[in-house]
Amino acid sequence: MEFIKMHGTGNDFIFLLDLDDKYIGQESNLAKKLCHRRFGIGADGIVLVRKSAVADVKMVIVNSDGSGANMCGNAIRCFGKYVFENNIIDKEIITVETGDGVKELELKIDSEGKVETVKVYMGEISFDGSLIPLKNKEKLIDEDIVVNGKNYRASSILVGVPHTVIFVDDENYDVTEGKYIEKYELFEKGTNVNFVKVIDNENILVRTWERGAGATYSCGTGCSASVVICNKLNLTKDKVNVRVPGGQLRIELEGTSIYMIGDAEFICSGKAY
């Protein structure tokens, strides 16, 4: 099969064109095989490009462990660049069907006809414990939880997928602690975990442990969730620069809506056997 590998601030994905649905039913096994960093191509997940009956095009995301993901901010920026520069969609404003509904992308095109940045409507936010979902809890905002005998001050939110935000003082915090928090009994379907250091009211640092992928260089929904929580706790304004190990994103809040702005890059293309 032919593939293209891309990354959004270091969060990398293998793209497969699947307009004729030939990979339906194989997604999980393909992801586990292709994403292995020793015996495969290596990536945080695969993205399949499919036809949509409700939008311009459909995006299907599968994590490296074979589990599905409704939405991924870095993947959808790469997706926008992919479909535009590969002449699948010839528009600067694109609608994309995802597991979290239809998302709108606004592409900024440079003088050479290449996608410079992508602005993504990330959707509505929810603190509802039944949607995250939390076990027997209406919400989790700035509360203590104890995992593996260690205390964490945590807040949880749904931004297409569940995210938990924990504030830290050290930007080199051991993000692998997220693997225990991810599977903590309070989170009925697991959670992504974001360790956040606030620099000032317009700048934060975020390191993310992703459910199904582990520690990643960037997580778009995680950055979005982190800014929402920071803003709710009056730690930042509603327009924030977010630095991650793989680069920087811009998150803007408008009421209950979230917008993410960032770039996306091609890495390579080839054939997988």
Binding residues for substrate: 11, 63, 73-74, 192, 210-211, 220-221
> Distance (Å, rounded) from C-alpha 259 to C-alpha 81?
17
Which residue in 35, 78, 219, 223 is the catalytic one? 219
C-alpha to C-alpha distance for 231 and 130, rounded to whole angstroms = 22
15: tokens are 């793209």
The DSSP bridge pattern shows strands 57-63 and 93-98 to be parallel
Binding residues: 11, 63, 73-74, 192, 210-211, 220-221
- Please identify which residue in the block is written with the tokens 């390191």: 207
Residues in the chain: 273
Look up residue 18 and give its amino acid: D
Give CA–CA dist 43/214, Å, rounded.
11
Could you give the CA distance from residue 49 to residue 72 in angstroms, rounded to a whole number? 14
User: How far is it, in rounded angstroms, from Cα 185 to Cα 42?
Assistant: 30
Pairing of strands 101-109, 192-200: unpaired
Give how far Cα 135 sits from Cα of 68, 139, 147, 148, 185, Å.
21, 10, 15, 18, 7
Active-site position among 72, 78, 223, 230: 72
User: Longest Cα pair distance anywhere in the chain, in angstroms?
Assistant: 55
Q: Where are the alpha helices (DSSP H) in 60-118?
A: 73-85
Active site residue 219: yes
Respond yes or no on whether the N-terminal peptide bond of residue 133 is cis (omega within 30° of 0): yes
Tell me the three state secondary structure of residue 29.
helix
The reply to whether 72 belongs to the active site is yes
Residues labelled as active-site residues: 72, 219
